[in-house]
Structures are given as structure tokens and as C-alpha cells.
Homo-oligomer: A and B are copies of this chain.
Amino acid sequence: MLCGMQAHDGPLTRLRRSHEQSVLDLLRRHGPLSRAELGTHSGLSRTTLYDIVAGLVENGVVVAATPRAQVRRRGRPVEKLSLDPHAGEAVGIDFARRAVHVSALNVAHEMVGSASEAHPPGLTWSQRADIAERLLASLGGPSGGSSPAGAAAGRGPRRGTLRLGSLSAIGVGVVGPVTDPGTADAPVDGTDGADGLAGVLRERFGVPVLLDNNTRLAALAEAVWGAARDGGDVLYLRLSHGVGGGLVVGGSLHRGTDGMSGEFGHITVDPEGAPCECGGTGCLETVASLDAVLRRHRAAGGDAGDFAEFLAAAAAGDRCAHAVLEQAGTEVGTVLAAVCNAVGPGVIVLGGELAEAGSALTEPVERALHAHVMPRARDRVQVRRAALGEAGSALGGIALVLHESPLLSRYPQPVTEEPA
């Protein structure tokens, strides 16, 4: 356990963790250092420093080695301390509707890699946790410092084994609102009894679990490392099996009352429309989810068997697919314009499989946005494609665990129960 994630930390425990973090930060910044160098940089007393270092070595997070070139003639050789790239620091898991995505970060703050697996709907949390565990086991380390974008692109993993036992916490994205990311509330569709997903994961991994809505985590990752990393207010919209998103406003990731923000998919586009899973009628999700788009395509005579075939048809110039994308894009752009007038983002990031249709979708989105956003705001908002792909939410889980981005300075602090 490296980070201060536990409830009821005493001041001495907190102080110790703060010292641990200082030592780890110095090793991240400078590379290998001797105890004497660490003492100079950290300002810690010899006794405190030796105690902190001993704990980190015992946990397998820091390794001590004597570089051959530096063995001195007299006295003991000077040991250099360095971070063990096999020690995990944070794992992000995205339990999407029909897939599990994982990403891992080592203690040197290098991305170890990302991995994904699709699954049929209706699995229990235990079955989905099995998939996550298998994917994490498949991730080796170290990656040699790949960036989150590199991890998202599926580069690495390289040979080696990530030791999950040294993890500080797991950041987990789930479908639907999460009341408090700092508590281990199970999302409402959990099927494993009262303790739900968080309980299952705590038992598996023995570390604190932070839950949040998975599209909000994708918004966080795009703002920290992805398409909107140049800052400002951001509206992220994911068009996938569900339609949702997240907002970065005034330099902070926004949660809303009880986590009820970013529900762009449940803005009404047609009061006379189809019933929606949320209990409402004619929500954006009923016309712009992958299933809705496929349904419209078939109704118009298209014969795509699944969404990949639909995308292939669109790419091949299928007129019917383009008409369906035009219609969905217009509805998406109209909703985005309403949110823009209310919130005033500088960047809109479009993610999810539907965005892979490219300009056949984004052009009608931009036309409708332009038509309905306040004329003065037209030149103030840019539409961009998401950069982190399907790994976005898992990477956002890691960002949530690190809690280092200024975007999270106002976000609820991750304080969870000590795992059993």
C-alpha cells in the first residue's frame, strides 16, 4: 500500500506516506540515487530516511543495487536505490456493457500496457472480474516508459511480470451513475449480492477500489492525456452501446449532484420517440447508440449484420449508411449545441465506435452544432475525435487513483475502506 487511500489515517501514518511519496518522486525524477543523495534532496533525517527506504525495499517497490563502476576502494560500496519497474502502482479497469478493458501503470509512472476482451451481455461481476484478472495477468512490464497514448494504441507489453501485490489502488469505470467515487457502492446492475463489484474486486486484489462512471473516466483521460490535453473546458461525448459523457469545467472534472452529470444520452430529442432504458422517452440514446443506428440502417434496407459491417458499408460509400449517419449526426449536434450554450466548452471530444465513422458522422454533427449554438460561440468550440480509443476509461481509472491532475483538485478525495 503506497498511497494514502485508507480511511482513518492517523497523522503519523499520513506523514509516513508523504515521506514515502517524496522518496518515490525523487527516484522517478532523478533515476537511481544513493541513500546520501536521497537524504540531500529530500531533507529527511538519516534515521527517517533509512526507515522509509527499508519499508519500500521490503514491499518490493524499491530495489537496492551496487553499480559495478562505483565500487570504491575502501569501505562499503555505495548502494544505489531505484524503482522496481515490475512493481505496479495503479490499475484501471473499465467494465463496459459488453467488454472489459484494463490498463496498468508501474511505480515509475510508466504505462505497462492496455488490454481488452469483448464478452456477451449478462455476465455476473465475478465473471467479469475473471476477465479483468486474466487481462491483467497478460500485461508484462516494464514497457520502457510508454505514454498513455502508446498504451491505448496497444503498443507493448514487453516481457516481464507486473507485481499487482504492490498496487496502491484500482480505479474502476462502470456503466451508469456512481453516487460517490470514494465509497465502494455497487452499481445498481450488480448481480453478486449487496457487496457487488467493489467487494468482488477488493477480495481479488486486496487493495482499495475507486468506482466512477466509465464515460466520465474517459473524459478525464482525454483531458489529461488525450485529445483535450491542451486544457480548457471540455465536453466529452461517447457514442457506443450507450450514449454518455463527461464535462471538465473551470479546470475540474465535474461530477454533479450525486454523480448525475454528463448524461447527454438522456437528453430528450423527440418527446414522441421510443422508450429509453432510463425510463424516459425519445432520449438521444434511442437514436444515436450503436443498436439504434443499426436498427435505422436495417429499416432503410441496409443489411449490416453488426456494427463493424455497418462501418465497412459506410466506408464503402453505402448511401443508406450515410443517410443514417447524417440523421444521427444532426441529432447529436443539436444536443451538443444546447449543452454548449449552457456550459461553454472550448473543445468537444467525440468518442465511441460511432465516431469511427469519421467525417460521415462529424460533418453533420458540426453542421447542426453550428446551426444551433449561439452565433457568438460558433468559433469558440472545436470538435475533435477521441485519441485514447477503447482504453480511455481504464486510463481514466488510473488518473483517478493517482489523483495528481489539477483536474481532480476539487474532485472528492479517494478515501475508501481498508481492504480486509
Contact = CB atoms under 8 A, between A and B. Distances in A.
A343 B250 contact: no
Contact of A410 (B251, B257, B280, B346): B251
A338 B337 contact: no
B342 A339 contact: yes
A275 to B, nearest CB: 11
Given A249-B254, A251-B410, A338-B267, A344 B380 contact: no
A374 B260 contact: yes
Nearest to A372: B268
Interface string A247-290: 10111101111111111101110010000001110000000000
Contacts of A374: 260, 263, 266, 278-280
Contacts of A345: 256-257
A89 interface: no
Given A338-B335, A338-B339, A372-B268, A250 B254 contact: yes
Interface string A279-322: 11000000000000000000000000000000000000000000
Place the interface of chain A in its size category: 35 or more
Contacts of A260: 340, 344, 374, 376-377, 380
Contacts of A381: 257
A334 interface: yes
Interface of A: 177, 232-233, 247, 249-252, 254-264, 266-268, 271, 278-280, 334-335, 337-346, 371-372, 374-377, 380-381, 410
